[in-house]
Chain A
Amino acid sequence: MLEHVVGDRNVHDGDTWQNKNSTTAPQLCISSGSTFISNTDRKDLHLFEIMTTALSSTQDEIELQNSDPVPPGDSQCNVCQKPAAFMCSSCGLNGPRYCSTECQSQGWREGHYRLCQGNAQARANAASRASNNTPEPAAAAAQGSIPMVEIRNNETSTEQDEQQEFADELRFYIKQIYLVIQPVVICIILSIFWVKVAFSGTSDYTPVRPSYSIGTSPTTTSGGSDSSSSSAISSLTTALVIVGQIILVTLVIVFLFRRGWIKILIGFFMIVVVGLLGFMSYLLILNLIEVFYIPLDYPTMIFALWNFAVVGLISVFWKSPLWLQQAYLTIMSSLMAFSLTGLEQWTTWMLLGLLAIWDLIAVLCPFGPLRLLIESSRTQQREVPALLYSVNAVWFMASMENHFRISQSFLPKEDHEIGTNWIYQDTGQPTTDAGTSQAQAVTTVETVRSNSPQPLGNNERDRVWNDESGPQGAVIEGHQARDGFTRLRGESVNTFATGQEQNVTTLSAATPNPNRSSHASASAGESETVPADEEDAERSGLKLGLGDFVFYSVLIARAAMYDWITTVCCTVAVLMGLTATIFLLVLWKKALPALPISIAFGIMFYFVAKAVLVPYVGTVCVFGMVAL
């Protein structure tokens, strides 16, 4: 009945249907030029035939713009004359028919790219665009990459709907970013407050670190001209020692994780969290008590501290309301930053610089430990339980995931499918696969990169196999980018959904021939697949590590120890660096270290502000009383 109604409508205005059909495809058409309609579903085919007959009955009313040799309605392949099952989705029923993707790509090269309506539309769009920054990939697409998309018969989205949908997704995205920025700002403000309290001069409990200096005395705080070089060396050694510790602990964690000794890791993290929550907050409370003259006896304080630490432990490692977890994580980061303010000035700056470099190495190098950690967490389908190495601390991302992720669901979203799991990940933040946090009933999502001919073949095989398996949920897994992350580079990227519960496809970043890992999904219907995928997409996205929280806060706390102007400058600079990093993440689609850009901005702004801006403001704005 439904089919009949649809067919009837098409008899009345075939043009509408044709337009609709061509508007469903354009997201492909710029990059690919043409797409296929496949009949994975027998119902599809049936409906397809009805539509075909309906349209061919009103053939005269439809203006034919296509001069491909094979007339519409014919079901022979345009290239090899076999019975055809596909057609160009951009041209719709007026377009050519194909029996396979090979034939389509051949036909594309042989001249359909000149005639394809999707391409024409893409050209029109490109011409109408006012400023065109990105090179148009249509030309490149004509060379070989032809992503395929199955068009479902219930596809009703018009351009308006898509725009609306896109705007909604964008708003969601903005909201998520807001949720990421917010705790960073809170953490920064908290650590500024701690610093201002502890270093106000009335406290005896300011944090002081033993210095690891070799030879010279570490207590040269004020810059005597003779001792400046030696103090520079000593602070460099101190910074190096601290960074060395961080590297060491990182390596140990990666080793433990790869061996699967998770319980040792968890125990280690618990000790550190308890120590931090207990001892550092004790130190902080002593500061607060002394500065604000709070009358408090030891039993009360110890009782409160004990409860504070234990509740923190439970909420971080077990469960608690989300806001409590977030509060604890933010407070812990600011405490950690506070504990690091005891370092000497130059030690802090060198430490930050070295850490930024280390961050680059650890995340971006092929054998960087953090990268290895991410990859093994993907291969082992296991979350990194918690990551904390002595300073570049990362606590339980498991509990943060819902909060610090940004859905990328509006990224490459094809008709049929799916979510993507871009893992955004930063410094100390080895993150987990979007799917693995529900490792029991995972619907893993794999990203297929199809901008070369070979994956096209893979897709084709999958598709054929898919047709055999009947109308159930499609499972297509292609090869993934070698680094485990998907990059979008000008070319089209199709995303396909993968396994169901019975056949969780292993997502091995190291698997060289991923085509083998495709499995049949015979049980679950499509209606189940789609929500699961959407959920995955929701949970995937941006994560910001607590390590970044800590070091952003360290930088700003250090700036706050000089002047308020440098504090404001560094805050703006660090947040700006953070947004720049997020931009690069969206651009490059791979794990990025979050520290380098922010730290570079922060250090630069600190020194410029300290050298010139503070005296300038002092002269012009404070004593000159000039409003600029």
Chain B
Amino acid sequence: MSLYTFFGCLFTAYGPLLSIFFLYIARDAQLVLLMVCRYAEIQDLLYNRIAVFNVDIFFLRSAFFWLIAMLLSSVIWFAAKPIQNMNTVTILYSVIIQELFRWGLFKLINRAERGLMIVSKNPKSLFNRSVFAFVSGYGFGLTSALISYISTLVQSIGPGVMMCPSCPQATLFFISAITTSLASLQHILWMMLAFEAYHTLPSTIGIIQGIWVIISHLGVSYATLMNSMESLYLGCVYAMIVQLVVLAISTSLVISNLKKHYGEAMFSRNSQ
């Protein structure tokens, strides 16, 4: 039974990410290995022939960023002894630090964008930016899913079982798996939204989308607090509903953004 639990939880938590990886990312080695030309613009390379780049695995870099954000917030958590058990405060600064690092990642990729464009399959494509954002978000999501769930997952193999406090009928392993998979998908969408928002920042749409990313991130994290509330019957279901709603709204926003890009692409093609 424990092995069944293990594999069930494994595929529940990591199934979406794994299928995205194998169906989409692994087919295009370029996505896995997008380069960040950080220190030199492509023009320098062409004219100067001084090739100075930073070669990075794209989603490795975003994974690294997420990890640093997590380490930072864990250090804060560790240092602030009196509020260690107040998860509300912990969530607040953790999410804020994550968003700050997302901003930093955006700045970095934005600087290297011309290089990235040249390397990508369709250098002229307007969707390139979305693709970069998608892969970066994948890095965020994968790392967060791994870090936050892997120890729980390993425990699920063991002889004992922990029940979810708010939903005593289900195990903690399974509820956490669902939470993790939803959160990892959300990370991808958040990253796409945030990159779009930061790119069009002075405009109202950009501001609204940026605020939506931060608010929904905080909201989802606070909603998952209901998972562990013993007083709230079926709290995990409410948490899941909130996550699903946020996921749906984010998805529709992303789709509308992509549609806008598609419209622009068609327009520019027609005008040519």
Contact = CB atoms under 8 A, between A and B. Distances in A.
Contacts of A414: 49
A616 B221 CA distance: 15
Interface in B27-64: 29-30, 32-35, 39-57, 60-61, 63-64
Contacts of B51: 408, 410-412, 488, 586
A525 interface: no
A488 B53 CA distance: 13
B224 A568 contact: no
A178 interface: yes
Report which residue of B71, B123, B175, B180 has the largest number of chain A beta carbons within 10 angstroms of its beta carbon.
B71
A134 B52 contact: yes
A575 interface: yes
Interface string A527-568: 000000000000000000000000000000000000111001
B63 A572 contact: yes
B78 interface: yes
Interface string B241-265: 0010000000000000000000000
Given A167-B119, A573-B64, A583-B54, A174 B41 contact: no
Given A586-B53, A605-B67, A609-B71, A29 B47 contact: yes
A167 B51 CA distance: 13
Nearest to A615: B78
B176 interface: yes
B236 to A, nearest CB: 8
A608 B34 CA distance: 29
A587 interface: yes
Given A171-B119, A622-B176, A576 B71 contact: no
A612 B43 CA distance: 44
A563 B151 contact: yes
A579 B67 contact: no
Contacts of A137: 48
Contacts of B150: 564-565, 568
B12 interface: no
Contact of A612 (B48, B60, B77): B77
A618 B34 CA distance: 33
B192 interface: no
A31 B54 contact: no
A628 interface: yes
Nearest to A420: B51
Contact of A411 (B49, B64, B77, B243): B49
A564 B154 contact: yes
A129 B43 contact: yes
B34 to A, nearest CB: 8
A22 to B, nearest CB: 12
Given A137-B48, A622-B176, A611 B78 contact: yes
B164 interface: yes
Contact of B39 (A175, A178, A587): A587
Interface stretch (B15-23, B82-90, B197-205, B206-214): B82-90
B75 A612 contact: yes
Contacts of B63: 572
B239 to A, nearest CB: 8
A133 interface: yes
Given A582-B55, A628-B91, A618 B151 contact: yes
Contacts of A513: none
B119 A625 contact: no
A385 interface: no
Contact of A626 (B46, B52, B224): B224
A251 to B, nearest CB: 33
A605 B119 CA distance: 32
Interface in A1-56: 26-31
Report which residue of A166, A170, A615, A625 has the largest number of chain B beta carbons within 10 angstroms of its beta carbon.
A625
Report which residue of A27, A408, A618 has the largest number of chain B beta carbons within 10 angstroms of its beta carbon.
A27
B136 interface: no
**Interface class of chain A by DSSP:** helix
A81 interface: no
B183 A572 contact: no
A569 interface: yes
B111 interface: yes
Interface in A482-523: 488, 490, 492-493
B267 to A, nearest CB: 24
B218 to A, nearest CB: 11
B228 interface: yes
A526 B165 CA distance: 78
B224 A413 contact: no
A286 interface: no
Contacts of A605: 67, 71
Interface in A329-343: none
Interface in B149-191: 149-152, 154, 164, 172, 175-176, 179-180, 182-183
B55 A628 contact: no
B142 to A, nearest CB: 10
Contacts of A565: 147, 150-151
A281 B176 CA distance: 38
Interface string A98-126: 00000000000000000000000010010
Contacts of A621: 147-149, 152, 176
Interface string B218-236: 0011001101100000001
B237 interface: no
B25 interface: no
Nearest to A181: B57
Interface in A386-439: 408, 410-414
Nearest to B77: A616
A30 B48 contact: yes
Given A30-B48, A125-B47, A413-B49, A134 B39 contact: yes
B154 A178 contact: no
A166 B33 contact: no
Given A27-B49, A134-B52, A617 B147 contact: yes
A26 B95 CA distance: 48
Interface string A584-624: 00110000000000000000010011011111111111111
B115 to A, nearest CB: 8
Contacts of B91: 620, 626, 628
A233 interface: no
A24 to B, nearest CB: 12
A493 B50 CA distance: 8
A613 B118 contact: no
Contacts of B182: 627
Contacts of B70: 613, 616, 628
A628 B60 contact: no
A27 B60 contact: no
B164 A490 contact: no
Given A174-B29, A628-B91, 7 more contacts: A129-B41, A170-B115, A173-B35, A410-B51, A411-B51, A564-B154, A612-B78
26 contacts: A26-B47, A27-B46, A30-B44, A134-B44, A163-B42, A171-B119, A174-B34, A174-B55, A181-B57, A411-B49, A412-B49, A488-B50, A564-B150, A565-B147, A568-B147, A569-B147, A575-B57, A576-B60, A579-B54, A583-B54, A587-B39, A612-B71, A616-B74, A617-B74, A620-B91, A622-B176
Interface of A: 26-31, 122, 125, 129-134, 137, 159, 162-163, 166-167, 170-171, 173-175, 177-178, 181, 408, 410-414, 488, 490, 492-493, 563-565, 568-569, 572-573, 575-576, 579, 582-583, 586-587, 605, 608-609, 611-628
Interface of B: 29-30, 32-35, 39-57, 60-61, 63-64, 67, 70-71, 73-75, 77-78, 84-85, 87, 90-91, 94-95, 98, 111, 115, 118-119, 123, 143-144, 146-152, 154, 164, 172, 175-176, 179-180, 182-183, 220-221, 224-225, 227-228, 236, 243
Closest 10 A-B residue pairs measured CB to CB?
Answer: A627-B183, A625-B227, A616-B74, A621-B148, A612-B78, A612-B74, A564-B150, A583-B54, A613-B74, A412-B49
